[in-house]
Amino acid sequence: MRLFHGSNTEIRQIDLSRCLPHKDFGAGFYTTTIYQHASERAQAKMQEQGGKAVVSVFDFDENVFADDKLAVKRFENPSAEWVRFVMKNRNKETKENHLFDIVEGPVADDRMYAQFALFEHGIISMETVLERITYREQTHQIVFCTPAAVALLKPEPDYAEVLIQYIIGDMAKFLINDYNISMTDALAKVYNSKTYRLITDKKTGIYRNASAHIYELLKKELCNAK
């Protein structure tokens, strides 16, 4: 399984002591299988704290889920159990962390958490919470909470090529949305651009940046070419 982590710096060594508590699944190293979400997180982190928007890539052997060496909790979809688990972890009055090594499940965004607060104050039922937080957009996170779990994450050896392909795909989608063109035309614009040559020249290191940041370079190039 390929996992992504978005931050304002490249992550090659994971330091759990730097992981903040009171998140969805408690303190831990958060990853996702969805590149776009990691890229957006990297962009947000850069805007909040400076640095560069960087997506780091890791390999993870999902066969771990099938054995009992580690304590694993998996939520396939938002559920009453998931809501209560997230609420407990996000509660800043709760000092202890859960005892799971790895937790996998959906992401609780701010809109969802607003519903959690209404439930917590007895304003709406759990059934209403679940009705209101069922979104079509797929979200996903796997959190590695202990040293034993983190040891299972291996930096993708050829992560540059991985990121380049995801970036190309994202830029094509951005072009389709902004210019109302076909995927064929969008890819042609990407592949014929100076920005593409910069991305694929690994010496520049530009491929480490989030897709949205690189897309801004492409837009400037296209505007200057008019």
What are the pLDDT digits (tens) for 153-196? 988 767 788 889 989 999 999 999 999 999 999 999 999 999 99
Domain that holds residue 25: 2-155
State pTM to two decimals: 0.78
Confidence of residue 226 (pLDDT cuts 50, 70, 90): low
Q: Are residues 139 and 184 both part of a single domain?
A: no
Q: Name the CA dihedral angle for 65, 67, 73, 75, rounded to a multiple of 10 degrees.
A: 40
Question: What is the rounded average pLDDT of the residues 215-222?
Answer: 93
Rg, C-alpha atoms of the chain: 20
User: pLDDT: is 35 or 225 the higher one?
Assistant: 35
Whether 87 has a pLDDT exceeding 80, the answer reads yes
Neighbours of 62 (CB within 10 A): 12
Distance CA 181, CA 197 (A): 22
Q: Are residues 169 and 140 both part of a single domain?
A: no
Do 143 and 134 form a contact (C-beta atoms < 8 A)? no
Distance of CA 144 to the CA centre of its chain: 14
Question: Which one-letter DSSP state was computed for residue 180?
Answer: -
Q: Are residues 214 and 137 both part of a single domain?
A: no
- Total domains, the chain: 2
Q: Are residues 60 and 145 both part of a single domain?
A: yes
Q: Are residues 149 and 164 both part of a single domain?
A: no
pLDDT number for residue 136: 61
Q: Are residues 83 and 114 both part of a single domain?
A: yes
Do 10 and 39 form a contact (C-beta atoms < 8 A)? no
Whether 40 has a pLDDT exceeding 70, the answer reads yes
Report the SS3 class of residue 177: helix
Burial class for 201, CB neighbours closer than 10 Å (0-12, 13-18, 19+): exposed
Q: Are residues 128 and 211 both part of a single domain?
A: no
Token code pair at residue 218: 């492409």
